[in-house]
Amino acid sequence: MDLTWRSLEDSDAPAWVRLMAEVEAVDRIDEHNGPEDFAKLIGETIPEDTVAVLDGDTLVAYGLAFGRPGAVEVNQIRLIADVAPSHRRHGVGTELVRRLHQCAKARHARQFPDLRLEAIVPVHERNAGLAAVVSAAGYTPSRWFFDMRAKLTADLPRVPVPDGFTLERYRPEFSEPLRLLRNDTFAEHWGSTDVDVPFWEAHFVKTPPLEPTLSAHLRDNATGELAAFVLTQQFAADTAARGFKELWITDVGTRTAWRGRGLASALLSTLLNDAREAGFASSGLSVDADNQTGALGVYERAGYAVSSKWTQYTLPLG
């Protein structure tokens, strides 16, 4: 097979969207992508972090090495890749992973050369082919995650805001306090790192745009501190493909001192009922299966149920 291997380019956006539609048609993991998703991916990398595979003029596979800020002790580089169904089982995935390891090492050398390096690959339960490729490359399962979904019906649970707290919807002036609150509440979560301002703006606020009226926090009236928060987004490509709106729960957090008082449940209840009235048909989120804060139970009581599972595969690279 005579293929061309190069870096991704801005002009690859239409070809990438077509490739991802071909992948979704076969893998059916219910994820849809548009030009804005490609712009976000490529905007957070440099060409040396990416791989494009072309058969003639057709993009048939891609990959990139993506890192987060704030790594401590171990720098986990996430490898994201897909191969067109027509080009699977021809060694393309194996070579793609090998090249992405080089991308990961180069990115690591730029960012955190004094830390240990691990490559991680998230694999959906329906993607047995990718699981086989990364297993053959030496990866082992290290963590499991659930996608959960709730239908936004009239019988959603209604949990009042506890006395002593005020619910405030998102406004731009809350952005920085919310970033700090997010870092604080996720400090003990496995694999979580502090996010800096550029990462916060890119992932939590701008792309896709945060849903301001359906994102909120609770302020403790006695201290004036932000005690808990829920941030939400809507993915345009998913809405267009499915024909209905889904509210994605980006993050949920409660400061340690206020846990066990139903703050997250009250926020989710309020926002999900508001979302239903705003025309959203469902809500989705992702959660660590081994989350130690009781998040899984909070989500189940709010009406969510597990819809699919992901396995994180890990390989030490240095």
pLDDT at 268: 98
Strands 165-169 and 140-151: unpaired
Q: Is the pLDDT of residue 286 over 80?
A: yes
- Domain total for the chain? 2
Mean pLDDT computed over 255-272: 96
Is 318 part of a structural domain of the chain? Answer: no
Q: What is the pLDDT of residues 84-123, one digit of tens each?
A: 999 999 999 999 999 999 999 999 999 999 999 999 999 9
* Average pLDDT for 296-314: 95
Mean pLDDT of all residues belonging to the chain: 95
- Asked if residue 93 and residue 165 are part of one domain, the reply reads no
300 plus 213 within the same structural domain: yes
Same domain, 130 and 172: no
Query: So what's the pLDDT on residue 1?
Result: 74
Q: Say what the pLDDT of residue 125 is.
A: 96
More confident residue, 294 or 58: 58
Helix axes 92-111, 128-136, angle to 10 degrees: 60
**pLDDT band at residue 236 under the 50/70/90 scheme:** very high
Residue 162 counted as domain residue: yes
Q: Provide the pLDDT for residue 70.
A: 87
Q: Are 50 and 193 part of one and the same domain?
A: no
End residue of a domain, out of 116, 138, 160: 138
pLDDT at 68: 87
Name the pTM for this structure.
0.92
Residues 161-175 pLDDT 10s: 999 999 999 999 999
CATH of the domain at 197: 3.40.630.30
Q: Is the pLDDT of residue 318 over 90?
A: no
Instruction: Provide the token pair at 30.
Output: 């219910």
* pLDDT tens digits, 1-51: 799 999 999 999 999 999 999 999 999 999 999 999 999 999 889 999 999
Q: What is the mean pLDDT of residues 202-218?
A: 94
Question: pLDDT band at residue 291, thresholds of 50, 70 and 90?
Answer: confident
191 pLDDT above the threshold of 80: no
Residue 44's pLDDT is 87
pLDDT-based confidence at 56, cuts 50/70/90? Answer: very high
Q: Does 239 score more than 90 pLDDT?
A: yes
Domain end (from 138, 166, 200): 138
Instruction: Report the C-alpha gap between 285 and 307 in whole angstroms.
Output: 10
Range of the domain at 227: 148-309
